Amino acid sequence: MSSKTKLFENELRFLYLDRGMTDREISEKLSCTKQAVYKARKKFSINAISVIERNQVLIKVSKRQEDILRGSLMGDAYLGPSGEFDIQHGHKQFGYLLWLFKNLQPYFGEIRNTRTCRRIRSCAHPFGLQIRAEYYAGGKKTINRDILDKLNELSLAVWFMDDGQVFPSGKQARLSTHCFSEEEHEIMVKYFSERWGLDAKIGKAGEYKQLLFNKENMNKLVGLIRPHVPVAMRYKIRPATGFSMYLSGGMEFKKKLGSGWRDWITKRLAEQNISCLDPVKLEPEAPGNVPLQTLLSDLKKTPTEGNMKIIRDTARNSFFRKDVHAIQLSDAIIVLYDRSAQLGAGTLSEAWEAFREGRPVYLMSDFPLESIPVWLVGETSEIFYSFEDLLEYTKDPNNILRDIKEAQKVRDTVIGDLY
């Protein structure tokens, strides 16, 4: 065999077996006919691979995707004999289905509409067959302790979003578990106790079994899953948490990092059962346990020449990550746009991040409207010129709920196809 022929054989094996390309895709890449590729495969004994084998090559299921799917199987997901996941939710839960869809790419195909629901299905993949062997050992979905021990906080969050609820009183939570047997309920109760320190009780709603968590255990459970619950599903836990708002404003050029107004508004909003995420208190301590204020002061004294990596790493690791995560945990963001915010860049960046995440942006400023950047105005849900007006507005939870829905709608309309 000539070196040229051997080279072509190796390339064909790579494209077909390692890249998972079809005969048609290979023919287009090599500028030849599909029939020529087929004959070459036969000549070099490169046997055809099945769809499931090709998907194994093309699609790698991440640990995060596995965690989501394990939680979903505890709830509403179905896993067919061919290893294809099927997830369906009502039209009112489209935001949740969209979150699942985005997190499960490229493993899942397009969102499909039916008369009663919207659904997504995965492709055939060895991962699905592997998981089915665990959950459907006898042909029917069953669980055991080994399956439960593979769930983490993200899995619990998905399970709760599927089948859980905090009661409107905010004093109890439940997981609807009527599809599981009496023995499986006992296994789940023991699992929650030993793995998470949660005391779950077996109860009934009519004829249907459920797991109940009293207020103390509900708060523990919500604390575990809250970081993983997207804003579209916060209503499931809101009776236990109330609303939460991130407080954005100048820090770098503000006395005491702008803690004065943040402390004041935090106390006033607490009276309305609204908690605040204060970046002054949320910021992680720098390496060596250096307080944030000292860290900022030292950075300003650091010569930029030769120290850009230190400055960048500090900003990225001590500021960016923690602030963005806090915004993701919030239901809305309050932005104080004053002189100190104009001098820095963080406030404008946080307002954009909140808009990108579909959070209402409540802008508080003494500046006349013509002095506020149009870009910032475009991100806002409401603009206030006094804190008392803001507090009067947030006193009605219906205002916040309406703004949350509208912010998600605007985000999806404006930039939904870009992220």
pLDDT at residue 55, as a whole number: 77
Averaged pLDDT, 381-404: 96
- pLDDT tens, position by position, 123-177: 888 999 999 999 998 888 999 999 999 999 999 999 999 999 999 888 999 999 9
CA-based R_g, the chain, Å? 27
- pLDDT tens, position by position, 195-221: 999 999 999 988 899 999 999 999 999
Give just the sign of the alpha carbon dihedral 180, 183, 184, 188. Answer: positive
* Cα–Cα–Cα angle for 284, 290, 292, rounded to 5 degrees: 55
Residue 181 banded pLDDT, cuts 50, 70, 90: very high
Averaged pLDDT, 251-278: 88
The overall pTM is greater than 0.85: no
Judging by DSSP bridges, how do beta strands 274-277 and 332-337 pair with one another? unpaired
Q: What is the DSSP string of 160-218?
A: HHHHEEE-TTSSEEEEE-TTS-HHHHHHHHHHHHHHH---EEEEEETTEEEEEEEHHHH
Q: What is the DSSP string of 370-403?
A: GGS-HHHHHH-SEEESSHHHHHHHHTSHHHHHHH
Q: Which two tokens stand for residue 32?
A: 């030849």
Dist CA 259 CA 407 (whole Å): 27
Averaged pLDDT, 320-332: 86
Whether the pLDDT of residue 382 is over 90: the answer is: yes
Query: 155, exposed or middle or buried, with CB in 10 Å at 0-12, 13-18, 19+?
Result: buried
For helices 397-415 and 387-394, give the axis angle rounded to 10 degrees. Answer: 100
